[in-house]
Chains A and B, each alone.
Chain A
Amino acid sequence: MNQQLAGYAPAPVAARMENHGHHMVKVAMQTGNDLLARVGSMVAYEGFVQYEPNPPAVRQIARDWITGEGAPLMKCSGDGLLYLADYGADVVIINLAGDSLSVNGTNLLAFDASLQWGVERVKGLAKFAGQGLWNIKVSGQGWVALTSRGTPIVVDCGRGEDETYVDPDALIAWSPNLKVKGKRSFRAGSLIGRGSGEAYQMGFSGEGIVVVQPSEDSTDRLRIRS
Protein backbone atom coordinates (compact mmCIF):
# COMPACT_ATOMS: atom_id res chain seq x y z
CA MET A 1 0.00 0.00 0.00
CA ASN A 2 2.84 2.28 0.82
CA GLN A 3 4.40 1.76 -2.55
CA GLN A 4 1.71 3.41 -4.59
CA LEU A 5 1.71 6.40 -2.32
CA ALA A 6 5.44 6.66 -1.92
CA GLY A 7 5.73 8.79 -5.00
CA TYR A 8 3.90 11.57 -3.29
CA ALA A 9 6.43 11.89 -0.51
CA PRO A 10 7.93 15.34 -0.26
CA ALA A 11 11.18 16.03 -2.00
CA PRO A 12 14.16 17.00 0.10
CA VAL A 13 14.25 20.64 0.93
CA ALA A 14 16.25 22.73 -1.47
CA ALA A 15 14.81 26.18 -1.02
CA ARG A 16 12.70 28.26 1.27
CA MET A 17 9.58 27.64 -0.81
CA GLU A 18 8.99 24.81 -3.25
CA ASN A 19 6.06 23.44 -5.17
CA HIS A 20 4.74 20.05 -4.19
CA GLY A 21 2.74 19.19 -7.25
CA HIS A 22 0.89 22.07 -8.84
CA HIS A 23 -1.39 23.01 -6.05
CA MET A 24 0.65 22.99 -2.88
CA VAL A 25 3.61 24.91 -1.57
CA LYS A 26 6.10 23.58 0.93
CA VAL A 27 7.81 26.18 3.09
CA ALA A 28 10.94 25.42 5.10
CA MET A 29 10.32 27.36 8.27
CA GLN A 30 13.08 28.48 10.56
CA THR A 31 13.24 30.60 13.65
CA GLY A 32 13.67 34.25 12.97
CA ASN A 33 12.40 33.98 9.43
CA ASP A 34 8.68 34.27 9.84
CA LEU A 35 6.05 33.81 7.19
CA LEU A 36 2.83 35.67 6.59
CA ALA A 37 0.16 33.47 5.11
CA ARG A 38 -3.50 33.73 4.41
CA VAL A 39 -5.63 32.60 7.32
CA GLY A 40 -6.69 29.01 6.90
CA SER A 41 -4.28 28.14 4.14
CA MET A 42 -2.26 25.67 6.21
CA VAL A 43 -2.96 22.06 5.25
CA ALA A 44 -0.16 20.29 7.13
CA TYR A 45 3.04 20.94 8.98
CA GLU A 46 5.93 19.03 10.47
CA GLY A 47 8.01 20.33 13.32
CA PHE A 48 7.23 23.14 15.66
CA VAL A 49 5.31 25.88 13.95
CA GLN A 50 3.13 28.37 15.74
CA TYR A 51 0.42 30.55 14.31
CA GLU A 52 -0.62 33.95 15.47
CA PRO A 53 -3.91 34.85 13.92
CA ASN A 54 -3.49 38.59 13.85
CA PRO A 55 -0.22 39.97 15.09
CA PRO A 56 -0.52 43.53 16.31
CA ALA A 57 1.97 44.90 13.87
CA VAL A 58 0.02 43.50 10.98
CA ARG A 59 -3.33 44.51 12.25
CA GLN A 60 -2.87 48.16 11.56
CA ILE A 61 -2.25 47.50 7.94
CA ALA A 62 -4.66 44.66 7.70
CA ARG A 63 -7.38 47.04 8.69
CA ASP A 64 -7.09 48.38 5.20
CA TRP A 65 -7.13 44.95 3.69
CA ILE A 66 -10.20 45.15 1.58
CA THR A 67 -10.18 42.35 -0.88
CA GLY A 68 -13.85 41.77 -1.17
CA GLU A 69 -13.53 38.28 0.22
CA GLY A 70 -11.72 39.29 3.36
CA ALA A 71 -8.36 37.57 3.40
CA PRO A 72 -6.61 38.41 6.65
CA LEU A 73 -3.12 37.21 7.32
CA MET A 74 -1.61 34.99 9.95
CA LYS A 75 1.95 34.97 11.08
CA CYS A 76 3.69 31.60 11.14
CA SER A 77 6.89 31.14 13.07
CA GLY A 78 8.98 28.22 14.24
CA ASP A 79 11.04 25.41 12.81
CA GLY A 80 9.75 22.82 10.43
CA LEU A 81 7.99 22.22 7.18
CA LEU A 82 4.77 24.00 6.41
CA TYR A 83 2.40 23.02 3.61
CA LEU A 84 0.00 25.61 2.27
CA ALA A 85 -2.76 25.32 -0.30
CA ASP A 86 -5.84 27.23 -1.31
CA TYR A 87 -8.77 25.08 -2.41
CA GLY A 88 -6.85 23.41 -5.19
CA ALA A 89 -5.70 26.55 -6.91
CA ASP A 90 -2.39 26.49 -8.72
CA VAL A 91 0.43 27.92 -6.67
CA VAL A 92 3.15 30.02 -8.23
CA ILE A 93 6.33 30.60 -6.27
CA ILE A 94 8.56 33.57 -6.86
CA ASN A 95 11.94 34.37 -5.39
CA LEU A 96 11.83 38.13 -5.47
CA ALA A 97 15.55 38.78 -5.01
CA GLY A 98 15.17 42.51 -4.96
CA ASP A 99 12.37 42.77 -7.51
CA SER A 100 8.97 44.04 -6.62
CA LEU A 101 5.51 42.90 -7.58
CA SER A 102 1.98 44.12 -7.13
CA VAL A 103 -0.38 41.29 -6.29
CA ASN A 104 -4.13 41.22 -6.23
CA GLY A 105 -5.13 40.63 -2.62
CA THR A 106 -7.14 37.50 -3.27
CA ASN A 107 -4.26 35.88 -5.11
CA LEU A 108 -1.63 36.28 -2.42
CA LEU A 109 -1.07 33.04 -0.51
CA ALA A 110 2.05 33.65 1.57
CA PHE A 111 5.21 35.70 1.71
CA ASP A 112 8.24 36.17 3.91
CA ALA A 113 7.69 38.56 6.76
CA SER A 114 11.03 40.13 6.02
CA LEU A 115 9.75 41.61 2.77
CA GLN A 116 8.60 45.17 2.52
CA TRP A 117 4.93 45.14 1.79
CA GLY A 118 1.98 47.42 1.89
CA VAL A 119 -1.61 47.72 0.80
CA GLU A 120 -2.18 50.22 -1.90
CA ARG A 121 -5.09 51.27 -3.92
CA VAL A 122 -4.88 51.12 -7.65
CA LYS A 123 -4.73 54.63 -8.96
CA GLY A 124 -7.21 55.65 -11.51
CA LEU A 125 -9.74 53.07 -10.46
CA ALA A 126 -11.04 54.98 -7.47
CA LYS A 127 -13.80 56.49 -9.47
CA PHE A 128 -15.29 53.15 -10.28
CA ALA A 129 -18.31 51.79 -8.58
CA GLY A 130 -18.27 51.04 -4.88
CA GLN A 131 -15.01 49.42 -4.02
CA GLY A 132 -11.74 50.14 -5.63
CA LEU A 133 -9.29 47.44 -6.47
CA TRP A 134 -6.79 46.89 -3.70
CA ASN A 135 -3.53 45.18 -4.08
CA ILE A 136 -0.44 44.29 -2.10
CA LYS A 137 2.93 45.50 -3.22
CA VAL A 138 5.80 43.33 -2.05
CA SER A 139 9.47 43.92 -2.62
CA GLY A 140 12.83 42.99 -1.17
CA GLN A 141 14.77 39.81 -0.64
CA GLY A 142 12.50 36.84 -0.07
CA TRP A 143 9.86 34.54 -1.40
CA VAL A 144 6.25 35.02 -2.41
CA ALA A 145 3.59 32.41 -3.20
CA LEU A 146 0.64 33.36 -5.39
CA THR A 147 -2.47 31.40 -6.21
CA SER A 148 -4.03 31.12 -9.61
CA ARG A 149 -7.25 29.45 -10.69
CA GLY A 150 -5.75 27.42 -13.50
CA THR A 151 -2.36 27.79 -15.11
CA PRO A 152 -1.53 31.47 -15.35
CA ILE A 153 -0.18 33.30 -18.33
CA VAL A 154 2.48 35.98 -18.26
CA VAL A 155 2.28 38.68 -20.87
CA ASP A 156 4.91 41.25 -21.66
CA CYS A 157 3.44 44.66 -21.57
CA GLY A 158 6.08 46.58 -23.40
CA ARG A 159 5.54 44.97 -26.77
CA GLY A 160 4.55 47.40 -29.43
CA GLU A 161 2.79 50.64 -28.84
CA ASP A 162 -0.49 49.07 -27.86
CA GLU A 163 -1.56 48.96 -24.29
CA THR A 164 -2.58 45.76 -22.55
CA TYR A 165 -6.08 45.56 -21.12
CA VAL A 166 -7.04 43.05 -18.48
CA ASP A 167 -10.29 41.91 -17.02
CA PRO A 168 -9.91 42.89 -13.33
CA ASP A 169 -11.43 39.61 -12.22
CA ALA A 170 -8.69 37.63 -13.92
CA LEU A 171 -5.75 39.76 -12.88
CA ILE A 172 -3.21 38.20 -10.52
CA ALA A 173 -0.13 40.39 -10.43
CA TRP A 174 1.81 42.97 -12.36
CA SER A 175 5.03 44.91 -12.27
CA PRO A 176 4.60 47.96 -10.04
CA ASN A 177 6.34 50.26 -12.47
CA LEU A 178 3.58 49.86 -15.02
CA LYS A 179 1.14 52.67 -15.46
CA VAL A 180 -2.37 51.58 -14.62
CA LYS A 181 -5.52 53.18 -15.78
CA GLY A 182 -9.09 52.16 -15.85
CA LYS A 183 -11.05 51.80 -19.03
CA ARG A 184 -14.71 51.40 -19.36
CA SER A 185 -16.11 49.99 -22.53
CA PHE A 186 -19.53 50.87 -21.39
CA ARG A 187 -22.31 51.77 -23.70
CA ALA A 188 -25.90 52.64 -23.32
CA GLY A 189 -26.72 49.31 -24.87
CA SER A 190 -25.60 47.57 -21.70
CA LEU A 191 -28.57 48.98 -19.85
CA ILE A 192 -31.07 47.26 -22.08
CA GLY A 193 -29.37 43.90 -21.99
CA ARG A 194 -27.17 44.38 -24.97
CA GLY A 195 -23.83 44.52 -23.20
CA SER A 196 -20.79 42.58 -24.24
CA GLY A 197 -20.14 41.35 -20.73
CA GLU A 198 -16.92 43.31 -20.54
CA ALA A 199 -17.73 46.52 -18.75
CA TYR A 200 -14.42 47.49 -17.21
CA GLN A 201 -10.85 46.77 -18.02
CA MET A 202 -7.58 47.85 -16.53
CA GLY A 203 -5.07 49.20 -18.99
CA PHE A 204 -1.35 48.73 -18.47
CA SER A 205 1.38 50.59 -20.28
CA GLY A 206 5.13 50.64 -19.88
CA GLU A 207 7.82 48.03 -19.47
CA GLY A 208 6.86 45.05 -17.37
CA ILE A 209 4.77 41.95 -17.06
CA VAL A 210 1.16 41.17 -16.30
CA VAL A 211 0.08 37.83 -14.84
CA VAL A 212 -3.44 36.63 -15.60
CA GLN A 213 -5.38 33.55 -14.56
CA PRO A 214 -7.71 31.65 -16.91
CA SER A 215 -10.69 32.12 -14.69
CA GLU A 216 -12.68 35.05 -13.50
CA ASP A 217 -13.50 35.35 -9.85
CA SER A 218 -17.21 35.21 -9.53
CA THR A 219 -17.41 38.14 -7.18
CA ASP A 220 -19.11 41.02 -8.85
CA ARG A 221 -16.40 43.50 -8.14
CA LEU A 222 -16.03 46.20 -10.76
CA ARG A 223 -18.89 45.06 -12.83
CA ILE A 224 -22.22 46.70 -12.90
CA ARG A 225 -24.02 44.61 -15.39
CA SER A 226 -23.00 41.59 -17.34
Chain B
Amino acid sequence: MHAAQTIVAPLNQPGQQPPQQPQFGQPSAPPPPGYGQPSAPPPPGYGQPSAPPPPGYGQPSAPPPPGYGQQSQAPAPGQIPGQAPAPFAAGGAAQAAPQGAGVAAALQKYREAATGQRWTQQNEKLVRVDLGVGGQPVLARQGSMVLYQGKVEFGYKGAGFQGRIVGNATGQEMQLMRCSGRGQVFLAEEGTHLHPIELQGDAICVSAENVLAFDETLQHEVRRIEGHGIPGGALFVMQFQGTGTVVVKTHGMPVVLPVTPTTFADCHAVVAWSAAAQAIVSSQVRLRGNAYGGSTGESVNLQFRGAPGNFIVVQPFEV
Protein backbone atom coordinates (compact mmCIF):
# COMPACT_ATOMS: atom_id res chain seq x y z
CA MET B 1 0.00 0.00 0.00
CA HIS B 2 1.51 3.20 -1.09
CA ALA B 3 -0.85 5.42 0.79
CA ALA B 4 1.68 6.30 3.42
CA GLN B 5 3.90 8.43 1.30
CA THR B 6 1.69 9.31 -1.59
CA ILE B 7 -1.52 10.60 -0.07
CA VAL B 8 -1.29 14.36 0.09
CA ALA B 9 -2.39 14.51 3.67
CA PRO B 10 -4.29 11.65 5.16
CA LEU B 11 -7.17 13.15 6.99
CA ASN B 12 -8.14 12.73 10.56
CA GLN B 13 -9.12 9.12 10.77
CA PRO B 14 -10.72 8.38 14.07
CA GLY B 15 -8.68 5.71 15.70
CA GLN B 16 -5.72 6.11 13.34
CA GLN B 17 -6.81 3.36 11.07
CA PRO B 18 -5.87 3.02 7.46
CA PRO B 19 -8.55 4.39 5.20
CA GLN B 20 -9.66 1.03 3.95
CA GLN B 21 -10.46 -0.19 7.40
CA PRO B 22 -14.02 0.20 8.49
CA GLN B 23 -14.22 2.88 11.09
CA PHE B 24 -16.70 1.14 13.26
CA GLY B 25 -16.50 -1.92 15.32
CA GLN B 26 -13.75 -1.14 17.81
CA PRO B 27 -11.74 -4.29 17.43
CA SER B 28 -9.65 -3.53 20.46
CA ALA B 29 -12.54 -3.18 22.83
CA PRO B 30 -13.36 -6.24 24.86
CA PRO B 31 -16.38 -7.99 23.53
CA PRO B 32 -19.54 -7.12 25.35
CA PRO B 33 -21.19 -9.86 27.29
CA GLY B 34 -22.68 -12.59 25.24
CA TYR B 35 -26.20 -13.08 24.23
CA GLY B 36 -28.44 -14.04 27.02
CA GLN B 37 -25.90 -13.45 29.73
CA PRO B 38 -25.94 -9.76 30.37
CA SER B 39 -24.93 -10.03 33.98
CA ALA B 40 -23.70 -13.57 34.30
CA PRO B 41 -20.01 -14.36 34.80
CA PRO B 42 -18.05 -15.13 31.64
CA PRO B 43 -18.79 -18.49 30.10
CA PRO B 44 -16.42 -21.30 31.02
CA GLY B 45 -13.26 -21.11 29.03
CA TYR B 46 -13.83 -17.53 28.05
CA GLY B 47 -10.47 -16.03 27.23
CA GLN B 48 -8.70 -19.36 27.07
CA PRO B 49 -7.60 -19.32 23.46
CA SER B 50 -4.18 -17.83 22.98
CA ALA B 51 -5.07 -16.29 19.66
CA PRO B 52 -8.33 -14.56 20.42
CA PRO B 53 -10.92 -15.03 17.75
CA PRO B 54 -12.69 -12.06 16.23
CA PRO B 55 -15.13 -10.94 18.87
CA GLY B 56 -18.06 -13.18 18.94
CA TYR B 57 -17.25 -15.21 15.89
CA GLY B 58 -17.37 -18.85 16.70
CA GLN B 59 -17.88 -18.28 20.35
CA PRO B 60 -20.90 -20.24 21.36
CA SER B 61 -21.68 -18.57 24.60
CA ALA B 62 -25.31 -19.38 25.02
CA PRO B 63 -26.76 -22.76 24.17
CA PRO B 64 -28.51 -22.82 20.85
CA PRO B 65 -32.22 -22.38 20.95
CA PRO B 66 -34.04 -25.64 21.49
CA GLY B 67 -35.39 -27.22 18.42
CA TYR B 68 -32.43 -26.38 16.27
CA GLY B 69 -31.45 -29.66 14.72
CA GLN B 70 -27.67 -29.39 14.60
CA GLN B 71 -27.12 -28.91 18.24
CA SER B 72 -25.14 -32.11 18.62
CA GLN B 73 -22.50 -30.89 16.19
CA ALA B 74 -21.84 -27.70 18.06
CA PRO B 75 -18.48 -27.74 19.82
CA ALA B 76 -18.20 -27.62 23.55
CA PRO B 77 -18.71 -24.20 25.04
CA GLY B 78 -15.61 -22.11 25.11
CA GLN B 79 -13.75 -23.97 22.42
CA ILE B 80 -12.92 -22.59 19.07
CA PRO B 81 -14.49 -24.62 16.32
CA GLY B 82 -11.89 -26.18 14.13
CA GLN B 83 -12.48 -24.22 11.02
CA ALA B 84 -10.13 -22.12 9.01
CA PRO B 85 -10.07 -18.46 9.88
CA ALA B 86 -12.78 -16.83 7.90
CA PRO B 87 -11.41 -14.61 5.16
CA PHE B 88 -13.95 -11.93 5.80
CA ALA B 89 -13.51 -12.22 9.52
CA ALA B 90 -9.83 -11.46 9.20
CA GLY B 91 -10.35 -8.20 7.42
CA GLY B 92 -13.67 -6.95 8.61
CA ALA B 93 -14.19 -5.86 12.14
CA ALA B 94 -17.93 -5.89 11.78
CA GLN B 95 -18.49 -9.47 12.61
CA ALA B 96 -21.52 -9.81 14.72
CA ALA B 97 -20.16 -9.13 18.12
CA PRO B 98 -22.16 -10.70 20.87
CA GLN B 99 -24.28 -7.78 21.67
CA GLY B 100 -26.00 -6.72 24.77
CA ALA B 101 -29.70 -6.31 24.69
CA GLY B 102 -31.46 -3.24 23.51
CA VAL B 103 -31.34 -0.86 20.64
CA ALA B 104 -28.52 1.24 22.02
CA ALA B 105 -26.20 -1.73 22.49
CA ALA B 106 -26.94 -3.15 19.07
CA LEU B 107 -26.20 0.12 17.35
CA GLN B 108 -23.17 1.00 19.43
CA LYS B 109 -20.70 0.16 16.69
CA TYR B 110 -22.38 2.53 14.28
CA ARG B 111 -22.11 5.51 16.57
CA GLU B 112 -21.08 8.86 15.24
CA ALA B 113 -17.37 9.48 15.60
CA ALA B 114 -17.01 12.80 17.31
CA THR B 115 -13.94 14.92 16.85
CA GLY B 116 -13.47 18.61 16.76
CA GLN B 117 -12.09 18.56 13.25
CA ARG B 118 -13.73 20.30 10.37
CA TRP B 119 -13.87 17.20 8.18
CA THR B 120 -14.35 13.83 9.83
CA GLN B 121 -14.81 10.57 8.05
CA GLN B 122 -17.52 8.65 9.89
CA ASN B 123 -17.16 5.45 7.94
CA GLU B 124 -15.93 4.69 4.50
CA LYS B 125 -19.07 6.01 2.89
CA LEU B 126 -20.01 8.94 5.12
CA VAL B 127 -18.26 12.21 5.79
CA ARG B 128 -19.21 14.84 8.33
CA VAL B 129 -18.27 18.47 7.97
CA ASP B 130 -18.53 20.79 10.92
CA LEU B 131 -19.33 24.21 9.56
CA GLY B 132 -18.61 25.82 12.89
CA VAL B 133 -14.90 24.99 12.61
CA GLY B 134 -13.36 27.52 10.28
CA GLY B 135 -16.66 29.15 9.53
CA GLN B 136 -16.29 28.91 5.78
CA PRO B 137 -19.14 27.56 3.68
CA VAL B 138 -18.82 24.24 1.91
CA LEU B 139 -19.80 23.47 -1.64
CA ALA B 140 -21.32 20.04 -2.11
CA ARG B 141 -22.96 18.13 -4.87
CA GLN B 142 -26.68 18.79 -4.95
CA GLY B 143 -28.68 16.32 -2.93
CA SER B 144 -25.74 14.75 -1.15
CA MET B 145 -26.83 15.80 2.32
CA VAL B 146 -28.23 12.92 4.34
CA LEU B 147 -28.45 14.54 7.77
CA TYR B 148 -27.60 17.78 9.48
CA GLN B 149 -27.72 19.22 12.94
CA GLY B 150 -27.87 22.87 13.72
CA LYS B 151 -28.78 25.85 11.63
CA VAL B 152 -27.54 25.19 8.14
CA GLU B 153 -28.70 26.86 4.98
CA PHE B 154 -28.62 25.06 1.68
CA GLY B 155 -28.48 27.36 -1.28
CA TYR B 156 -28.02 27.07 -4.97
CA LYS B 157 -24.52 27.57 -6.24
CA GLY B 158 -24.33 28.43 -9.85
CA ALA B 159 -21.23 28.04 -11.88
CA GLY B 160 -21.58 31.50 -13.29
CA PHE B 161 -21.86 32.45 -16.92
CA GLN B 162 -18.32 31.57 -17.82
CA GLY B 163 -18.42 28.43 -15.76
CA ARG B 164 -21.45 27.16 -17.58
CA ILE B 165 -19.89 27.78 -20.95
CA VAL B 166 -16.73 25.98 -19.93
CA GLY B 167 -18.64 23.22 -18.23
CA ASN B 168 -20.80 22.59 -21.23
CA ALA B 169 -17.88 22.54 -23.58
CA THR B 170 -15.66 20.27 -21.51
CA GLY B 171 -18.09 18.10 -19.63
CA GLN B 172 -16.44 19.09 -16.37
CA GLU B 173 -19.39 20.65 -14.64
CA MET B 174 -20.75 20.14 -11.17
CA GLN B 175 -24.22 20.73 -9.83
CA LEU B 176 -23.40 22.32 -6.53
CA MET B 177 -25.11 23.66 -3.46
CA ARG B 178 -23.66 25.89 -0.83
CA CYS B 179 -23.94 24.75 2.79
CA SER B 180 -23.47 27.68 5.13
CA GLY B 181 -24.31 28.46 8.70
CA ARG B 182 -23.46 26.67 11.89
CA GLY B 183 -23.76 22.96 12.49
CA GLN B 184 -22.72 19.57 11.26
CA VAL B 185 -23.63 18.21 7.84
CA PHE B 186 -23.34 14.54 6.91
CA LEU B 187 -22.62 13.96 3.26
CA ALA B 188 -22.89 10.74 1.28
CA GLU B 189 -23.97 9.71 -2.16
CA GLU B 190 -25.17 6.40 -3.52
CA GLY B 191 -23.02 4.41 -1.15
CA THR B 192 -19.81 5.38 -2.89
CA HIS B 193 -16.54 5.35 -0.99
CA LEU B 194 -15.49 8.80 0.12
CA HIS B 195 -11.98 10.09 0.58
CA PRO B 196 -11.36 13.52 2.10
CA ILE B 197 -8.08 14.87 0.80
CA GLU B 198 -6.59 17.85 2.55
CA LEU B 199 -4.72 20.29 0.39
CA GLN B 200 -2.14 22.53 1.99
CA GLY B 201 -1.26 24.82 -0.83
CA ASP B 202 -0.78 22.01 -3.31
CA ALA B 203 -3.11 20.93 -6.05
CA ILE B 204 -4.95 17.87 -7.19
CA CYS B 205 -6.72 16.98 -10.40
CA VAL B 206 -10.05 15.25 -10.04
CA SER B 207 -12.60 14.26 -12.59
CA ALA B 208 -15.58 16.50 -11.91
CA GLU B 209 -18.04 13.68 -11.57
CA ASN B 210 -16.00 12.24 -8.72
CA VAL B 211 -16.11 15.35 -6.58
CA LEU B 212 -18.55 15.20 -3.70
CA ALA B 213 -17.74 18.33 -1.74
CA PHE B 214 -15.00 20.86 -1.11
CA ASP B 215 -14.24 23.94 0.91
CA GLU B 216 -15.27 27.12 -0.77
CA THR B 217 -11.80 28.50 -0.15
CA LEU B 218 -10.36 26.19 -2.78
CA GLN B 219 -9.96 27.45 -6.29
CA HIS B 220 -11.01 25.11 -9.03
CA GLU B 221 -10.59 25.35 -12.74
CA VAL B 222 -10.89 23.10 -15.74
CA ARG B 223 -7.61 21.88 -17.20
CA ARG B 224 -6.97 20.23 -20.50
CA ILE B 225 -4.96 17.06 -20.82
CA GLU B 226 -2.48 17.28 -23.63
CA GLY B 227 -2.58 14.67 -26.30
CA HIS B 228 -3.63 13.98 -29.78
CA GLY B 229 -5.49 11.33 -31.59
CA ILE B 230 -8.46 11.19 -29.26
CA PRO B 231 -11.72 10.84 -31.11
CA GLY B 232 -13.53 13.30 -28.86
CA GLY B 233 -10.89 15.97 -29.28
CA ALA B 234 -9.36 16.28 -25.84
CA LEU B 235 -9.73 15.23 -22.23
CA PHE B 236 -10.46 17.63 -19.44
CA VAL B 237 -10.15 17.49 -15.70
CA MET B 238 -10.96 19.70 -12.75
CA GLN B 239 -8.01 21.01 -10.79
CA PHE B 240 -8.34 22.08 -7.16
CA GLN B 241 -5.77 24.30 -5.57
CA GLY B 242 -5.31 26.11 -2.30
CA THR B 243 -5.80 25.29 1.35
CA GLY B 244 -8.76 23.18 2.26
CA THR B 245 -10.30 19.78 1.78
CA VAL B 246 -11.83 18.16 -1.24
CA VAL B 247 -13.87 14.98 -0.85
CA VAL B 248 -13.40 12.53 -3.69
CA LYS B 249 -15.83 9.68 -4.22
CA THR B 250 -15.03 6.38 -5.86
CA HIS B 251 -17.13 3.41 -6.75
CA GLY B 252 -15.56 0.67 -4.70
CA MET B 253 -12.20 0.63 -2.97
CA PRO B 254 -9.67 2.50 -5.10
CA VAL B 255 -6.02 1.77 -5.71
CA VAL B 256 -3.48 4.54 -5.15
CA LEU B 257 -0.44 4.10 -7.36
CA PRO B 258 2.78 6.05 -7.14
CA VAL B 259 3.81 7.71 -10.34
CA THR B 260 6.72 5.87 -11.91
CA PRO B 261 8.10 6.21 -15.43
CA THR B 262 5.70 3.51 -16.50
CA THR B 263 2.39 4.36 -14.88
CA PHE B 264 -0.63 4.03 -17.11
CA ALA B 265 -4.31 4.20 -16.34
CA ASP B 266 -7.52 3.84 -18.25
CA CYS B 267 -8.95 7.29 -18.71
CA HIS B 268 -12.36 6.02 -17.68
CA ALA B 269 -11.22 4.50 -14.41
CA VAL B 270 -8.74 7.08 -13.17
CA VAL B 271 -10.33 9.36 -10.64
CA ALA B 272 -7.68 11.76 -9.42
CA TRP B 273 -4.01 12.48 -9.47
CA SER B 274 -1.70 14.95 -7.84
CA ALA B 275 -1.41 17.97 -10.07
CA ALA B 276 2.36 17.90 -10.10
CA ALA B 277 2.18 14.75 -12.13
CA GLN B 278 1.85 15.31 -15.82
CA ALA B 279 -0.78 13.32 -17.65
CA ILE B 280 -0.19 12.46 -21.27
CA VAL B 281 -2.57 10.64 -23.52
CA SER B 282 -0.94 7.57 -24.92
CA SER B 283 -3.20 6.05 -27.47
CA GLN B 284 -2.17 2.67 -28.53
CA VAL B 285 -2.03 2.76 -32.31
CA ARG B 286 -1.82 -0.63 -33.82
CA LEU B 287 -2.55 -0.52 -37.47
CA ARG B 288 -2.98 -4.21 -37.85
CA GLY B 289 -5.21 -4.65 -34.84
CA ASN B 290 -7.42 -1.80 -35.81
CA ALA B 291 -7.62 -2.85 -39.38
CA TYR B 292 -8.69 -6.36 -38.55
CA GLY B 293 -11.15 -5.28 -35.94
CA GLY B 294 -10.88 -7.23 -32.74
CA SER B 295 -9.97 -4.26 -30.64
CA THR B 296 -8.97 -4.79 -27.04
CA GLY B 297 -11.18 -1.97 -25.89
CA GLU B 298 -8.24 -0.35 -24.16
CA SER B 299 -7.38 2.25 -26.72
CA VAL B 300 -7.15 5.51 -24.80
CA ASN B 301 -4.79 5.39 -21.88
CA LEU B 302 -3.26 8.08 -19.79
CA GLN B 303 0.40 7.98 -18.99
CA PHE B 304 1.64 9.82 -15.96
CA ARG B 305 5.00 11.39 -15.47
CA GLY B 306 6.26 13.14 -12.44
CA ALA B 307 8.68 13.32 -9.61
CA PRO B 308 8.53 10.66 -6.91
CA GLY B 309 5.82 11.44 -4.43
CA ASN B 310 3.09 11.92 -6.95
CA PHE B 311 0.23 9.50 -7.07
CA ILE B 312 -2.86 8.57 -9.02
CA VAL B 313 -6.14 7.18 -7.75
CA VAL B 314 -7.92 4.53 -9.81
CA GLN B 315 -11.34 3.10 -9.04
CA PRO B 316 -12.50 -0.42 -9.93
CA PHE B 317 -15.28 0.95 -12.07
CA GLU B 318 -15.18 2.34 -15.56
CA VAL B 319 -17.65 5.08 -16.20
Which chain A residues have a beta carbon within 8 Å of chain B's beta carbons?
3, 6-9, 11-16, 18-22, 28-31, 33, 46-47, 79-81, 92-99, 101, 149-156, 159-160, 162-167, 170, 175, 185, 189, 194-198, 201, 209-216, 226
Identify which of B61, B143, B155 contacts A14 (C-beta below 8 A).
Answer: B61
Shortest CB–CB separation between residue B234 and chain A, in angstroms? 28
Return chain A residues, CB-CB under 8 Å to B106: 92-95
Chain B 77-104 interface mask (CB, 8 Å, partner A; 1/0): 0000101111111001011101111111
Give the contact stretch, choosing among B117-125, B195-203, B278-286, B294-302: B117-125
Return chain B residues, CB-CB under 8 Å to A93: 96, 99, 106
For the complex, what is the distance from the CA of A196 to the CA of B137, rounded to whole Å?
Answer: 14
Shortest CB–CB separation between residue B159 and chain A, in angstroms? 12
Best-surrounded residue of B24, B69, B147, B150 (most CB of chain A within 10 A): B147
Are B101 and A13 within 8 A (Cβ)? no
Are B102 and A96 within 8 A (Cβ)? yes
Are A9 and B83 within 8 A (Cβ)? yes
Looking across the interface, which residue of chain A has its beta carbon closest to that of B22? Answer: A151
Chain B 49-73 interface mask (CB, 8 Å, partner A; 1/0): 0000000111111101111111000
The yes or no answer to B189 lying at the interface (CB within 8 A) is: yes
Identify which of A7, A9, A31, A163 contacts B67 (C-beta below 8 A).
Answer: A31
4 closest A-B pairs by beta carbon, nearest first, are A197-B142, A97-B101, A214-B188, A197-B143
Give the contact stretch, choosing among B107-115, B223-231, B250-258, B304-312: B107-115
Are A153 and B112 within 8 A (Cβ)? yes
Identify which of B100, B101, B143, B148 contacts A165 (C-beta below 8 A).
Answer: B148
Are A162 and B151 within 8 A (Cβ)? yes
Return chain A residues, CB-CB under 8 Å to B66: 30
Are A156 and B88 within 8 A (Cβ)? no
Return chain A residues, CB-CB under 8 Å to B99: 93, 95
Are A79 and B67 within 8 A (Cβ)? yes
Identify which of B62, B86, B142 contacts A7 (C-beta below 8 A).
Answer: B86
Shortest CB–CB separation between residue B254 and chain A, in angstroms? 16
The yes or no answer to B158 lying at the interface (CB within 8 A) is: yes
Shortest CB–CB separation between residue A157 and chain B, in angstroms? 8
The yes or no answer to B183 lying at the interface (CB within 8 A) is: yes
Looking across the interface, which residue of chain B has its beta carbon closest to that of A143? Answer: B106
The yes or no answer to B46 lying at the interface (CB within 8 A) is: no
Known contacts A101-B103, A151-B123: A226-B142 contact under CB 8 Å:
yes
Shortest CB–CB separation between residue A144 and chain B, in angstroms? 9
The yes or no answer to B156 lying at the interface (CB within 8 A) is: yes
Q: Can you list 10 A-B pairs, Cβ within 8 angstroms, ordered by A?
A: A12-B58, A13-B60, A19-B96, A95-B35, A95-B100, A153-B126, A153-B186, A196-B142, A197-B142, A216-B188
Are B188 and A47 within 8 A (Cβ)? no
Are B112 and A155 within 8 A (Cβ)? yes
The yes or no answer to B9 lying at the interface (CB within 8 A) is: no
Shortest CB–CB separation between residue B17 and chain A, in angstroms? 14
Are B57 and A7 within 8 A (Cβ)? no
Looking across the interface, which residue of chain A has its beta carbon closest to that of B34? Answer: A14
Are B83 and A154 within 8 A (Cβ)? no
Return chain B residues, CB-CB under 8 Å to A80: 68-69
For the complex, what is the distance from the CA of A97 to the CA of B158, rounded to whole Å?
Answer: 50
The yes or no answer to B291 lying at the interface (CB within 8 A) is: no
For the complex, what is the distance from the CA of A15 to the CA of B56, rounded to whole Å?
Answer: 11
For the complex, what is the distance from the CA of A60 to the CA of B107, rounded to whole Å?
Answer: 31
For the complex, what is the distance from the CA of A16 to the CA of B96, rounded to whole Å?
Answer: 12
Shortest CB–CB separation between residue A212 and chain B, in angstroms? 5
For the complex, what is the distance from the CA of A29 to the CA of B67, rounded to whole Å?
Answer: 8
Are B68 and A162 within 8 A (Cβ)? no
Are B155 and A215 within 8 A (Cβ)? no
Looking across the interface, which residue of chain B has its beta carbon closest to that of A89? Answer: B191
